[in-house]
Amino acid sequence: MSGLAARVRRQHREAAEAAQQVIRWRFITALHGAALVALALFLSAALAWFRLRHSPLGPALDICFEYYCHRLSERSLWLAGEPMPICSRCTGVVAGYLLGALLAVCGCEKFRLWGIPTGLLLVGLMGFSWMLGRFGVVPGDWHAERIPAGALGGLGGYILISRVVVLLIGWRTAANSAAHKAEC
């Protein structure tokens, strides 16, 4: 009888852990979805800046963009005769964040390459690009280099942030399950 009870308890615990894993992945996917929407709105506002600048949203967006980027007009893309509110590298970073959120929602974060070393490598490539510009090897207004470098850095940043969140959620879950096992 005790063997049957132990087996039932083990099956119950395994089912509870599987359900907890499903809930955790749904929560993480919802976070990625929220990030995807927020980043899409941010990039859309940057691309539509020439229309939004003089609207009632203009001053609020101006403050938002001011905190995000240095906003040097010679390093910004120009649309409809006006510079975008963020430079080309920051535009690439937001596009990289957006790509990261999209890939995560599609399930790519479960792949082995979606890890902290990959994120650090991509952010490091953006840092190397920044150093090339800082020391004059690459001109500061060369958008063909700044946008892809920013996109790689943004993707790397998104990977790092998402992995840290998953690790924190995983640790909390591991601590909770250890406490639950101690209670049983």
Q: Please check whether residue 66 lies inside any domain of the structure.
A: no
pLDDT the model gives residue 68: 86
Task: Give mean pLDDT, residues 26-48.
Answer: 82
Q: Please check whether residue 160 lies inside any domain of the structure.
A: yes
Q: Please check whether residue 138 lies inside any domain of the structure.
A: yes
Task: With beta carbons less than 8 A apart as the criterion, state whether 99 and 151 touch.
Answer: yes
CA distances (Å), origin 130, targets 29, 68, 100, 106, 147:
32, 17, 21, 30, 11
Structural domains in the chain (count):
1
Give per-residue pLDDT as tens, 66-103. 888 888 888 888 887 888 888 899 999 999 999 998 88
Q: Please check whether residue 12 lies inside any domain of the structure.
A: yes
Domain that holds residue 155: 2-44+89-183
Q: Please check whether residue 18 lies inside any domain of the structure.
A: yes
Tokens 């995983």 locate to: 170
Q: Please check whether residue 28 lies inside any domain of the structure.
A: yes
Does the pTM surpass 0.95? The reply is: no
Q: Please check whether residue 97 lies inside any domain of the structure.
A: yes
For residue 122, name the pLDDT band (cuts at 50, 70, 90). Answer: very high
Nearest C-alpha neighbor of 161 from the set 18, 39, 19: 39
Q: Please check whether residue 57 lies inside any domain of the structure.
A: no
